[in-house]
């Protein structure tokens, strides 16, 4: 009897802790760092639990930005134009758009018509 190589699903092997990709782990960490600022503010006021909850919310928002895609729906104009793209890519393009003073440069090729 011969041996056969079976194809295996290798998608997701670049993940850490099964749900985190490298990008989502990094964005969750950055969101958690932003939440720690609120943790220290609320812990100084004696509201440590509120600070922890806010830190977890910021970390989840960071995870969502790094992991999820914009849904494809026709109901809203932004989801119609950016549907299926990663949220962080949409945010990066928006920041670049704002830095260019809201200008989009379109290069077209003009053709001369000989009469």
- 21 and 62 belong to one structural domain: yes
- Report yes or no: 24 and 60 within 8 Å, Cβ to Cβ: no
- 63 and 78 belong to one structural domain: no
At residue 81, the 3 state secondary structure works out as helix
Residue 46 in any domain: the answer is yes
- 30 and 51 belong to one structural domain: yes
The confidence score (pLDDT) of residue 112 equals 67
Residue 99 in any domain: the answer is yes
- Tell me the pLDDT band of 3, cut-offs 50, 70 and 90: confident
The confidence score (pLDDT) of residue 93 equals 80
Among the ranges 8-17, 26-35, 72-81, which has the highest mean pLDDT value?
26-35
- 63 and 19 belong to one structural domain: yes
The confidence score (pLDDT) of residue 25 equals 81
Give tens-digit pLDDT for 30-44. 898 999 998 999 889
Query: Hey, which residues does 20 pair with through a beta bridge?
Result: 16
- 39 and 51 belong to one structural domain: yes
Domain housing 41? 15-68
pTM exceeding 0.75: no
Does 108 have pLDDT greater than 70? no
- What is the rounded average pLDDT of the residues 72-77? 74
Residue 62 in any domain: the answer is yes
Does 13 have pLDDT greater than 70? no
- 48 and 80 belong to one structural domain: no
Which residues have C-beta within 8 Å of that of residue 24, sequence separation ≥ 6?
63, 66, 67
Residue 10 in any domain: the answer is no
């Amino acid at each position: 009897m011969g041996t056969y190589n079976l194809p295996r699903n290798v998608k997701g092997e670049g993940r850490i802790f099964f749900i985190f990709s490298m990008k989502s782990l990094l964005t969750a960490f950055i969101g958690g760092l932003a939440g720690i600022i609120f943790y220290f503010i609320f812990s100084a006021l004696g509201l440590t639990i509120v600070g922890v909850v806010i830190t977890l919310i910021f970390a989840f928002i960071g995870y969502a930005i790094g992991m999820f895609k914009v849904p494809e729906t026709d109901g809203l104009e932004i989801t119609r134009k950016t549907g299926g793209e990663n949220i962080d890519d949409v945010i990066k393009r928006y920041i670049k758009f704002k830095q260019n003073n809201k200008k989009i440069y379109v290069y077209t090729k003009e053709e001369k018509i000989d009469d």
